[in-house]
Amino acid sequence: MSKTVNGFSKLTKLEKIDWLISNFFDDDIKVKQILMQYWNSNNKLQELHDDFIENTISNFYLPFGIAPNFVINGKDYTIPMAIEESSVVAAASLVAKFWSKRGGFKANVVATKKVGQVHFMYEGDKVKLQNYFSEIKEDLLIATDAITQNMKKRGGGILDIELRDKTTDLANYYQLHVTFETVDSMGANFINSCLEAIANRFENESIQIVMSILSNYVPECLVHAEVSCKVSELGGENSELFAQKFVQAVQIANAETYRAVTHNKGIMNGIDAVVIATGNDFRAIEAGAHAYAAKSGRYKSLTNASVEDGIFKFRIDIPLALGTVGGLTKLHPLSKLSLKMLGNPSAKELMEIIAVAGLAQNFAALRALTTTGIQKGHMKMHLTNIIKQLGANEEDKQYLIDYFEDKTITHNAVVDAYNKLIGEH
In the set 47, 85, 162, 203, the catalytic residue is: 85
d(C-alpha 134, C-alpha 22), whole Å: 62
352 belongs to the catalytic site: no
For residue 378, indicate whether it is catalytic.
yes
Q: Choose the catalytic residue: 281, 332, 348, 349.
A: 281
**b/e 30-47 (16+ beta carbons within 10 angstroms → b):** eebeebeeebeeeeeebe
160 is catalytic: no
Question: What number of CA atoms fall less than 13 Å from residue 83's CA on the CB side?
Answer: 24
User: In which region does residue 214 sit, left (phi positive, over 0), alpha (psi from -120 to 50) or beta (all else)?
Assistant: beta
The answer to whether residue 402 is catalytic is: no
* Rounded-to-5 percentages of helix, strand, coil across the chain: 50, 20, 30
Q: Which of 221, 219, 212, 216 is nearest to 140 (CA)?
A: 212
DSSP H/E element including 390 = helix 374-390
Cite the DSSP H helix spans in 38-86.
43-50
Rg (CA), the chain: 26
Q: How far is CA 287 from CA 46, 265, 281, in A?
A: 30, 12, 10
Where in the sequence numbering do the catalytic residues fall? 85, 265, 281, 378
